Amino acid sequence: MLKLAALAVFVLASLLDVSQVRAAGEQVVIGTIEDLSGVYADTGGQGSVEASAMAIADFGGTVLGKKIVLLSVDHQNKPDIGASKFREWADQQSLNVLLAGSNTGVSIAMAKVAAAKKVPFFAVGAGGASLTGADCTPYTVHYVYDTTALGNGTASAIVKEGGKTWFFVTADYAFGTQLQDAAARVVLANGGKVLGAVRAPLGTTDYSSFLLQAQASHAQVLGLANAGTDFINSLKAADEFGITKTMRPAALLTFVTDIHSLTLQTAQGLYLTTSWYWDLNDETRAFAKRFFAKMKKQPTMAHAGYYSATLQYLNAVKAVGSTAPDLVMAQLKKTKINDVFTKNGYIRADGLMVHTMYVMQVKTPAESKYPWDYYKVVKVMSGEEADGSQADPACVLVKK
């Protein structure tokens, strides 16, 4: 029986996490928690981790004489995995900053951990505007785009061209509902009408019943408040059903990799809103070339956002000479952001990074001259135009 006790102790000891807490301060630890295997693996995914690694390499690999370490894990689109991994890193690995994205539900869960553990948190790939509204924290920075800006970009462009009646197919979680709300607000404000909406679970592959409901509504515009493979699957199905002939699809969140998967034949003419495009100028093309060499695809706005956020964090650490979260956050909030991702971006009191957004139209196959030549700029929106000039009053950090 003693043998059994010894066995039990051995099994426990060998299975449990016996890695000791790393002595704080020997290195700067950057964590990335991404969807590496699910619906957003293409728009964010491994490319995001790679973009962060590029930023660390460009920065020189060390800051304040300490080695920079990059951790990454797959959140599998489950809020519980994201939040518990973040907490574990904060407790065990003396994590200094978390960059995370693709999935607003997971990001909201992680924001709560950021507030409890006082770790700066860059919500890079997620869209939900509530991250800097009702769910804001002093340590959250919402970086690449938010649902408000997407609504103001794409929805207003379509309504102004006469798409007055809308039906939404919405991803059934925080991101989808917030995106639908943002777009619906814009539609109503411009004299349009929302005829209905249907919610599809994240990761749906068969959109037929949802699309038939949309068709039965006789709306002019099919608002797709989803992203990643959800967006690809729903648009493809709409195209195959011939619904795109009678209804105009509105792609409320689209990444350049989605267009690549859909092909121009299916996607041509779509309006979309993006904060970054690889073919904007020489600087973005140079970054894209380096990224392409590693990942064999052009970077999305999320990838550029990861690169930029990593770099801005390291710059702030260098400027204040410390990784103390409050000092770094104060530095970040008073510094203008100028890099390959954006020019003259700034972080608002509620944590939103306000920057230029572009309304794009997908080119026709005839207009596209070379591989990945997919977008033409329709309109350039200033950060204030995209996100409003005031910080979100729903955020407790905003002085009323």
Q: Name the one residue in this structure whose structure tokens are 């293409």.
A: 42
Question: Based on CB atoms, which residue is closest to other proteins, 43 or 275?
Answer: 43
Token representation of residue 29 = 């630890």
Binders in 172-231 for other proteins, by CB under 8 A: 172-174, 201-202
From 36-44, 149-157, 215-223, 295-303, span contacting other proteins (CB under 8 A): 36-44
Give the C-alpha distances (Å, rounded to integers) separating 399 from 37, 123, 135, 385. 40, 22, 16, 21
From 15-23, 51-59, 313-321, 325-333, span contacting other proteins (CB under 8 A): 15-23
Q: Does residue number 385 form part of the binding site for other proteins (CB under 8 A)?
A: no
Looking at 203-297, list the stretches that DSSP marks H as alpha helix, in order from N- to C-terminal side: 208-216, 228-240, 243-246, 256-262, 264-267, 282-295
- Minimum distance from residue 335 beta carbon to other proteins (Å): 29
CA neighbor of 375 nearest in space, from 364, 361, 365: 361
- Minimum distance from residue 202 beta carbon to other proteins (Å): 7
- Minimum distance from residue 105 beta carbon to other proteins (Å): 4
Token representation of residue 308 = 């930029």
Instruction: Please tell me the count of residues contacting other proteins according to CB under 8 A.
Output: 46
State which amino acid sits at residue 176: G
Token representation of residue 314 = 């390291």
Q: Does residue number 2 form part of the binding site for other proteins (CB under 8 A)?
A: yes
- Minimum distance from residue 350 beta carbon to other proteins (Å): 18
CA neighbor of 387 nearest in space, from 92, 211, 106, 153: 153
Q: Does residue number 293 form part of the binding site for other proteins (CB under 8 A)?
A: no
Token representation of residue 276 = 């970054």
Q: Does residue number 112 form part of the binding site for other proteins (CB under 8 A)?
A: yes
Q: Does residue number 1 form part of the binding site for other proteins (CB under 8 A)?
A: yes
- Burial of residue 239 (number of CB atoms within 10 Å: 0-12, 13-18, 19+): middle
Angle between helix axes 208-216 and 228-240 (nearest 10 degrees) is 60
Q: Does residue number 307 form part of the binding site for other proteins (CB under 8 A)?
A: no
Which residues lie closer than 8 Å to 13 by C-beta, 6 or more apart?
none
Q: Does residue number 23 form part of the binding site for other proteins (CB under 8 A)?
A: no
* Residue selected from 22, 66, 78, 333 as contacting other proteins according to rule CB under 8 A: 78
Residues that bind other proteins (CB under 8 A): 1-2, 4-5, 7-9, 11-13, 15-21, 36-38, 73-74, 76, 78-81, 83-84, 87-88, 91-92, 104-105, 108-109, 112-113, 115-116, 172-174, 201-202
